[in-house]
Chain A
């Protein structure tokens, strides 16, 4: 069973702090990784994707990938209350089956 594992949280950080979300995956054939944000009662929306080892930055978000350790992370700088949501990590082996983790709930306290 190919899996993507995340700590369910909740992760609570104060406003303005860095939130660090982590994810591990079991399938070494996974080639691309995605972070989706899902607000309560809403559908997931893509925050970032990453294919290569290292860091990828987009505004306040940085995705990190370490294929040797089978580890993906998402850093959110200057966290805002509007960042409070569930963050879903997902992996894809290059086909049509994207496997999702159960998600980490993030609370940003004002």
Chain B
């Protein structure tokens, strides 16, 4: 039972390069999220997908794009990386119990990205 799986775990990019962070969950959750975590800033929501086929902006969407590929997979793309995007990125999912979303987020292990 893997839960939420993110790849890659570590990545170093040069300014202007592009990359995609992959995320998959095996808990049959409807909703998936991408957060970034920076020192002293806490977790900030980049994008989320309430259900398959939908995506919406969070607090800090600029410079990112997302794709909800299917119910299991939600990817985050940086088209032209900038040093300000150096961060730890967490994918998360949440589901419904008895028809109500409890709100609990299940996080992946994180992807540490450095942009030089």
Q: Which residues of A contact B (CB under 8 A)?
A: 4, 8, 32, 34, 36, 42-46, 49, 88, 90, 92, 96-103
The 8 A-B residue pairs with the shortest CB-CB distance in the complex, in nearest-first order: A43-B107, A102-B42, A100-B43, A100-B42, A46-B104, A32-B103, A96-B48, A92-B103
Given contacts A96-B31, A96-B48, A96-B56, contact A43 B103 (CB under 8 A): no
Check if B109 sits within 8 Å of A43, measured CB to CB: yes
Check if B103 sits within 8 Å of A34, measured CB to CB: yes
B5 to chain A, nearest CB (A): 11
Check if B103 sits within 8 Å of A97, measured CB to CB: no
Given contacts A88-B42, A98-B45, A100-B44, 17 further A-B contacts (CB under 8 A): A42-B109, A43-B90, A43-B107, A43-B109, A43-B110, A44-B90, A46-B104, A49-B102, A49-B104, A92-B103, A96-B33, A96-B48, A96-B50, A97-B48, A98-B103, A99-B45, A100-B43
A29 to chain B, nearest CB (A): 14
Question: What band does the interface of chain B fall in when counting residues whose beta carbon is under 8 Å from A?
Answer: 20 to 34
Check if A88 sits within 8 Å of B43, measured CB to CB: yes
A4 to B56, CA, bound (A): 21
Given contacts A43-B90, A97-B48, contact A49 B103 (CB under 8 A): yes
A32 partner residues in chain B, CB cutoff 8 A: 103
Interface of A is mostly: strand
A30 to chain B, nearest CB (A): 11
Q: Which residues of B contact A (CB under 8 A)?
A: 31, 33, 35, 40-45, 48, 50, 56, 58-59, 90, 102-105, 107-110
Check if B40 sits within 8 Å of A102, measured CB to CB: yes
Given contacts A88-B42, A97-B45, A102-B41, contact A43 B108 (CB under 8 A): yes
A8 partner residues in chain B, CB cutoff 8 A: 40
A3 to chain B, nearest CB (A): 10
From A32, A49, A96, residue with most partner B Cβ within 10 Å: A96
A103 to B35, CA, bound (A): 15
Q: What are 5 pairs between A and B in contact, CB < 8 Å?
A: A42-B109, A43-B110, A44-B90, A96-B31, A97-B45
A49 partner residues in chain B, CB cutoff 8 A: 102-104
